[in-house]
Structure 1
Amino acid sequence: MPDEARWRLSGWFDPWRAATVEQRRTGLLAAGSAVVGLAVAATCVVAAGPWDSGQRTAERQRAASGAHPGDDGRPGPDPARAPGASPVLAPLGAPLASPSPDTGERSVPVPTGPGLADALEPLLRDDALGPLRAGAVVDVATGRQLYGAKAGTGAIPASTIKIATGVAALSALGPGHRLTTRVTATPNAPGRIVLVGGGDPTLTARATRGPDGSHPASLRQLADQTARALRARGEHTVRLDYDTSLYTGTSRHPILPNENLAPVTALMVDEGRRDDSDRGPADRVKDPAAEAARAFARLLRDRGVKVTGDPRPAGDKGGAEDGKGGADGPGRTLASVRSQPLSTLVERMLTYSDNDIAEALTRHTARATGHPASFAGGRAAVTARLKRLGLPVAGAHLADGSGLDRADKVSAGLLAQLLARAAGPDQPALRPVLTGLPVAGFTGTLRDRYGEESVGRGVVRAKTGTLFGVNTLAGTVVDADGRLLTFAFLTNGSTDPAAAQRVLDRLASAVANCGCR
C-alpha cells in the first residue's frame, strides 16, 4: 500500500507532504477534516471495544496507535493504547477545540441550514441527477437535522438500506453474537447424521482464509470434528441429511435468478458461488443447501468416513441452532463451528455491499425478536427494531435486507439519523456500522471513486447504493471546523450512473470541506 494510503488510514496523514501545489490551495479545509475525521474513527474503535478477527483489525490497531506506521506499513508500538494525538474526542462526537475562556467548555461551530444550503443546493440541481433528489445532514452531537432537501420523502435506497439492516441486527443480537453450524446425531436413528444450517453465509469449504485475511467458519474443520466424533463412537458409515429449518418461507428473493445474490437459505458455503471469487457478482448454484451437503459428504469421505447415498433434506428432524433438533426433536451435537462475530459480519456487509450477509442478518434479527425468519418476518423485525431506537421510520418500507428489491423505500433523513445513532456515545454496540463504511478512494465500494484531486478522498466514509436509475450515498464526515456530521443523498430516475455518482461524491465532499455558517 502506498505511504499516502497508510497515512490516511492510520489517522496520521500529512496532507502537505502528499498534496500537489494546486491541492494545497484548494484543500485547506479538507486537510483539517482528514485528520479530525480519522481521529473520530479512532475514537469509534476505543468506544466500541476490541473484536477479534475481522477485516478491520489492522485499521482499528492503526487508529488506536499513537505512533506513525513504519515504512513497512506495520503499526507503531502498543497498538492497543488510546491515540496520542491531542485533543482526543472523549465521547464520540465531542467537539474538537480549545476550552472557552468563559465557560471552560470545548465547542466548535455548528453548521447552519442556510450555510449548508449554499454549498449543497447548486450540486443538487445538477442535471446528472434524476427527478427525485433528496438529501439530509445531521449533527451527531445533538442528533439534530441541520439540512434537508426532501429529507422525509421515501426513495429507492438500493444498498444503503444495509445501514438499517446492520443497525437492527446489532441492536437485537449484539456485536459479539456468532452463527453456529452443527452436525447432530439422533438416538433413534443410528448411522444417521444431520448437517444443520445455522444461517451463516460466510461458512467456507475452502482451505484459505477469508478475503480480509480472517478466518470464517470452516466446513473442513467441521468435517474434521465430525470424523473424530464418529470414530470415537465406533461408526464408520453414515447417512447424511441436511437441515435448513432455521429459516421459514420462500428462499427466492424477487430478483432471483441474479448473480448478486444466492437463494436465501440457512445452509450454504461460500455464498453459493460457483467460482473462487470472494465478493461481487458471481454465478450461483440453484440449491445452496444441497451443494453444501454434497461438499460436506466429500470432505467426510476424504477423512475415512463412508457416506451412503446422496445427502437429502431432513425437514424438521435434524436440528436447529438451539441444539434441540429441528423444530422440536432431540439432537445430540457431534461437531460445530461458529462464524466470526456479528460486528465483523456487519463490517464486511457494508464494506463490500454483501447482499447474502444482509439477507441472513435480516432473518437473524427476525428470530431474535420473535418474528418468522422469512422475508416478511425480516421486514417487520427490522422496522420494529428501528422504531424501538426512536428512529423516524414513518413512510419507510423495508422490503428486504440487501436493497436489491425496488419496493424498498427509505428517506434521506432516516439514513442520516441511522448513522448518527450508530455514532452516539450511548450506542457502542452499533459502532461496527461506522467502522464498516468504505473509505473514499481506498476501500470497498468507494475504492475506485474520489480521485487524487477530490477533497473527499480519505475523508468521506460512506455506503454506496446503485440500481438501474438509482444512485445513493450515505455516510459520515468531520467538517472543516471539526464537527462530526452524517449525511445521506439519494437520487432516483438518473440515466447516467457514472455522472450521478460523481455528483453524489461532490455533495459528500462539500459537507466535509465546509464550515457552512
Structure 2
Amino acid sequence: MPAALRAPAKLKTWQLTAGAATVGLAVAAGAVAAAGPWDSSGQRTAERDWAASQEAGGGTDHGGRTSGRAPAAAPSAPSVLRGLGAPVGSAHGGSAPAPDGKALAGVLDPLLKDKALGPERSAVVIDAGTGRRVYGKGGGDALTPASTTKIATAVAALTSAGADHRITTKTVIEPDSKDVVLVGGGDPTLTARKDGPYSDSAASLRELAQDTARALKDRGTDKVNLSYDTSLYTGEEQHPIGPNENLTLVSALMADEGRLDDSSSGPAPRSGDPAGDAAKKFAELLEEQGIETGADAGAKGKKDERDPGPSKASDRAESLAKVESAPLSALVERMLTHSDNDIAEALARQTALASKEPASFDGADRAINAQLKKSQLPLKGTKFADGSGLDRADRSSAELLSALLARAADPAHPELRSVVTGLPVAGFTGTLVDRYPKDSPGTGVVRAKTGTLTGVNTLAGTVVDTDGRLLVFAFMTTGTTGPKAAQGALDRMASAVATCGCR
C-alpha cells in the first residue's frame, strides 16, 4: 500500500475542513443568487468545522445527528480559500499545483488491480480547475452505475426544471359542486407528520388540510366529496425490481414516501397504495378541521364513510389551497446524501415534465438523455432505465460520471451546486457515514456518491488533495463477489487521490 495511505497525519486541519466545505463554499464565489436559496435545511451552512473536529454527525443535516436547530457557522469562503493557498474568488485551488498524471497512475494503478474489484473496472480522475483528465483506465466503458445514476438524474433535473423549482400539491373544487380533488404534483417528500427531520422544510399535508378547510368554510361549505388525482404520471407505477423496501410505487401523490414506519431515509416497509393512503390521511386531517368528507358526503343528510377514490380534476376546477416542496436544490441534496430512490424517481419525472415528455420511466429516460446531450456530456453507451439506479439495465461510464461532477463544481454552473454539496462526507454523513474509520486518510476529505447492487460497486465524487487542488473522480466495478472488500478497495482509491500530492 502506498506510504501516503499509511500516514493520515499528513492531512492538515485545513484540508479536513476544506474537504467537507470547499466544494459547497468555494463554488459560491460564482453568482450565488442564480443557484436558488443558499441554505436548504442547514445543509450548506452546516459544512463547517465538525469535519476537522472528527465529530461524526450533523453537518449535511439531511437526517443528521446535529444537536439543536442551528448548526455552527461555516468558515467563510474567503478564509477557507486562503487556507488552501488560493486567491479569493477561485473555486478550484487557484495556484495550487495540479497532480502529475504519471505520478497519480503510480499510486492508483496498483489499487485498481485489487482482486476485490472484480473483472470489470474503470476509473477517471479530473482536475476540476482545468477540466483535464489526469488519470483514466477504461473510462469510456459503459458499466452498471447503480446509485451513481442519481448524479445524472440530479444534473438533468436541475438543468431542465431549475434549482428554484418547487413541486406543488394542491386541492381544487369542481364548479357548482362539493367535489374536492387532492391533486398530486409528484412530491415524494410531502409529509403528514407533525415533527421529524424534514417537518419544517417539506410541504405539509396538515397545512394543506388547514388551508383547504379555511377556504371551504369561506365558501360556506363543511361537507365535501373527496377524491384524488394522480394523472400527472403515466406508465407503470411499479419499478422493474418489484415490491421493495427501497422504493414505494412511483406515484404523483404520496406522503412520507409511503413509509409505514417513522423513518425518513433508508429501507422501510412501504404502502401498496401510497396515493390512496395519502388521500385517506388527508380526509382525516380535514375531519379534524371540521370538514366532513366521503364519496357522497352530505347526500340526504348522511355521510358516506367510504375512503376517497381516484378521479381527475377538470380544467374548470377552482383552486382551494396548495403547498410547495423545498426547492429542487434541497431535494437533490437529500437524494444524494441518503441515496433516496423515491426522490430520484420523482426528479426523473420532473425532468420529463420540464422536457415535454411523458412522466414515465421511458419518458424520463429520453428526457435525461436529451438534457445531458444539450450539455455536450459523453453519453456513449448510456441508458437511464430509471432515475434511481436500482435497475440493472442502467448504463453509464466513469467518463460521464466524472464529467457530470466536474460541471457541477464549475463556478460557471451555480445552478448545479447542490450536486456537490449533497454528496455524503466520508465518515460523517449519509451513505458514507460508516464507510471510513476515523483513522482513514479519506475521512472528512472524500465526498462521494456510492452505488451498490449485488456484484456492482461504484464511487464517484470529489476530493481536495494535499496541495489544495479540487479533483473529481469516478470509480466503477462489476462482477464483485464481496461488497465490503470492494467498497474498501474503492475507498482506498479515493483516499489515495486525496493524499497523493502527486507531482
Distance of aligned partners of 1:279 and 1:39 in 2 relative to their CA distance in 1, 3 Å threshold: closer
SS of equivalent to 2:321: strand
Letter in 2 for 1:426: A
CA–CA separation in structure 2 for the residues paired with 1:239 and 1:435:
44
CA distance in structure 1 between the partners assigned to 2:46 and 2:471 by the alignment:
21
Q: 2:264 aligns with which of 278, 283, 288?
A: 278
- 1:228 matches 2:214: yes
- Structure 2 vs 1, CA of residues 109 and 199 (structure 1 numbering), >3 Å: closer, same or farther? same
SS in 1 for 2:133: strand
> In structure 1, which of residues 136, 145, 160 is the aligned counterpart of residue 148 of structure 2?
160
Q: Which residue of 1 aligns with 2:79?
A: 84
Please give the alpha-carbon distance, in whole angstroms, between the structure 1 residues aligned to 2:357 and 2:128: 31
Paired with 1:61 and 1:230, the residues of 2 have a C-alpha distance of: 47
1:435 to 421, 427, 440: 421
**241, 261, 276: which one aligns with 1:290:** 276
| Letter of the 1:512 counterpart | A
Q: Quick check: 1:207 aligned with 2:205?
A: no
TM-score by length of 1: 0.85
Of 36-45 and 337-346, more deviation after overlay is shown by 36-45
Partner of 1:43: 26
Q: Does 1:34 align with 2:20?
A: no
2:374 is aligned with 1:383: no
Per-residue deviation, 1:30: 6.2
Report the Cα offset of residue 84 of structure 1. 3.0
- The verdict on how the C-alpha distance between 1:89 and 1:478 changes in structure 2, with shifts beyond 3 A counting, is farther
Residues 172 and 239 of structure 1: is their aligned pair in 2 closer, same or farther, counting only changes over 3 Å?
Answer: same
Q: What is the rounded CA distance, in whole Å, between the counterparts of 1:116 and 1:81 in structure 2?
A: 31
- Of 155, 160, 165, 1:172 maps to 160
* Aligned-partner Cα distance in 2 for 1:205–1:76: 29
CA contact (8 A) 2:108 2:496 kept: yes
What is the Cα deviation at residue 34 of structure 1?
2.5
The superposition leaves residues 137-175 of structure 1 with CA deviations (integer Å, 9 ceiling, x where unpaired) of 011111121111111001111101100011111111111
C-alpha distance in 2 between matches for 1:209 and 1:33: 33
Counterparts of 1:381 and 1:503, CA distance in 2: 34
Q: For residues 1-46 of structure 1, give each alpha carbon's deviation from its aligned partner in whole angstroms, at most 9, with x where no partner exists.
A: xxxxxxxxxxxxxxxxxxxxx9995531565643443334321345
Alignment partners' CA distance in 1, 2:106 and 2:6 = 23
- Look up the SS of the partner of 2:117 in the other structure: coil
3-state SS of 1:382 partner: helix
Q: How many residues align?
A: 466
Do residues 194 (structure 1) and 177 (structure 2) align? no
Q: Give matches, 1:114-125, under 5 Å.
A: 114-125=102-113
Where 1:262 maps in the other structure, the secondary structure is coil
- Pick the aligned partner of 1:345 from 331, 344, 347: 331
Unpaired runs of 5+ in structure 1? 1-21, 64-71, 97-106, 319-324
CA distance in 2, matches of 1:444, 1:284: 21
SS at match of 2:115: coil
C-alpha spacing 1:514/1:31, structure 2 compared with 1 (3 Å): farther
> What residue in structure 2 maps to residue 500 of structure 1?
486
Counterparts of 1:133 and 1:355 in 2: how far apart (Å)? Answer: 25
Other-structure match for 1:515: 501
Q: SS in structure 2 opposite 1:128?
A: helix
Q: CA RMSD, aligned part only?
A: 2.3
Is 1:144 paired with 2:132?
yes
TM-score (norm 2): 0.88
The Cα shift of 1:52 comes to 4.5
Deviation at 1:382, TM superposition (A): 0.6
* Partner amino acid, structure 2, of 1:226: T
Aligned: 1:393 with 2:393: no
For 1:223 and 1:252, locate their aligned partners in 2 and report how far apart those are by CA, in whole Å: 28
1:325-340 equivalent positions in 2, closer than 5 A: 325=314, 329-340=315-326
- Which residue is equivalent to 2:390? 404
- Once the two structures are superposed, residues 167-198 of structure 1 have per-residue CA deviations (whole angstroms, 9 ceiling, x without a partner) of 1111111111100100001114x111000001
Q: Which residue of 1 aligns with 2:91?
A: 93
Q: Which amino acid aligns with 2:335?
A: M
Output the CA distance in 2 between the equivalents of 1:240 and 1:467. Answer: 41
Instruction: Sort the Cα spacing of 1:53 and 1:136 in 2 relative to 1 into closer, same or farther, 3 A.
Output: closer
SS at match of 1:426: coil
Percent identity reads 54
Structure 2 gap ranges (5+) = 51-66, 296-305
